[in-house]
Amino acid sequence: MSDKILIVGAGAIGGFYGGLLAKAGAKVSVVCRSDYNIVKQRGYRIDSCDLGQWQFEPEQVLQRAGDYRQDADYLILCTKVTDQIDRIGLIRDAVRPHTAIVFIQNGVEIEAQLQDAFPDNELVSGLAFVCCNRLQAGEIRHLAYGKLMLGNLPGGVSAKTRHLQQLFIRSGIECPINEDIIAGRWQKCVWNAPFNPLSVLSGGLPTLAILQQQEQLIRRIMQEVCDIAAGCGHPLTDDVIETNIQNTYAMPPYKTSMLLDFERGHPMETEAILGNAVRAAHRQGVACPRLETLYSLMKLRALQIQNQSQ
């Protein structure tokens, strides 16, 4: 019997991973809001850099989770993590007792809210290393990478997560398991914490230009993230900074997700990426003056955007 999967927040990331799961044989439905009419009519056209082009026709296209009348095996939450989005309210009406809740989202320490709301459900944390754009409603372009890292909360890996991994691998992407996925989130934050805010605060520089001019600052910010992760009991490996630096030099110049949100006038994931890291540092008594400064600057930038729009 096919797996029943509901994707909530089926934009570029949700549509791409949903489309892969459908290719692998799952029954994939989607909840999407802004693009509902077009997706309902035509599904998704996905154009991948290395997995070909395909049409993804969801089983059901819905406007809200409550309209999904089946028992989802997996509910995959792919929205941004911002104050404007009620993650619990968006999914609550589709969560059944045996539904595994998978969240493929940015940020650190974003688990507690879901753990508190669904204490009896299996919870799977997902980290996407992918570059996907929504060209227009129902059109997704996969530009680079694709790896999805999965792991159960609070740790380890379940049979159900292994099964989901197999679906993703069958669809053609890398899908490693990380039994300390919380450390995995901190590891991703090592890159996100400097490059996302610096891309916005610099006025829109791509990653390579930022790195070329400010490698020392970036290394120091990365070290602060490593210090916080260690303070939280999730020490990262010694080579994590060097690897991130070298990988970024090897990447094509890249606009960060925060910069894209900024340019589109969308809310930015400042709290999920920077605010939560700074709060964790304060809780654990770890110094992070550079992260604090970036966090404050991003809040000032947001205030200015808000003032301008009034």
Burial of 185 (C-beta count, 10 Å sphere; 0-12/13-18/19+): buried
Partners of 148 in beta bridges: 128
Task: Report, in Å, the least distance between residue 220 CB and its own copies.
Answer: 7
Residue with Cβ nearer its own copies (105 or 256): 256
SS (H, E, C) 131-146: EEEEEECCEEEEEEEE
Residue with Cβ nearer its own copies (25 or 289): 289
Task: Report, in Å, the least distance between residue 222 CB and its own copies.
Answer: 13
Task: Report, in Å, the least distance between residue 306 CB and its own copies.
Answer: 10
Task: Report, in Å, the least distance between residue 225 CB and its own copies.
Answer: 14
217 contacts: CB under 8 Å, gap ≥ 6? 194, 290
Query: Which long-range contacts does 86-93 make (Cβ < 8 Å, 24+ apart)?
Result: 87/113, 87/114, 88/113, 88/114, 88/117, 90/8, 90/9, 90/31, 90/65, 91/8, 91/65, 92/65, 92/117, 93/64, 93/65, 93/66, 93/68
Task: Report, in Å, the least distance between residue 232 CB and its own copies.
Answer: 21
Task: Report, in Å, the least distance between residue 299 CB and its own copies.
Answer: 6
**Residues in contact with its own copies by the rule CB under 8 A:** 198, 201-205, 209-210, 213-214, 217, 220, 289-290, 292-294, 296-297, 299-301, 303-305, 307-308
137-161: burial string, b at 16+ Cβ within 10 Å, e else: bbbbbbeebbebbbbbbeeebeebb
Residues belonging to the chain = 310
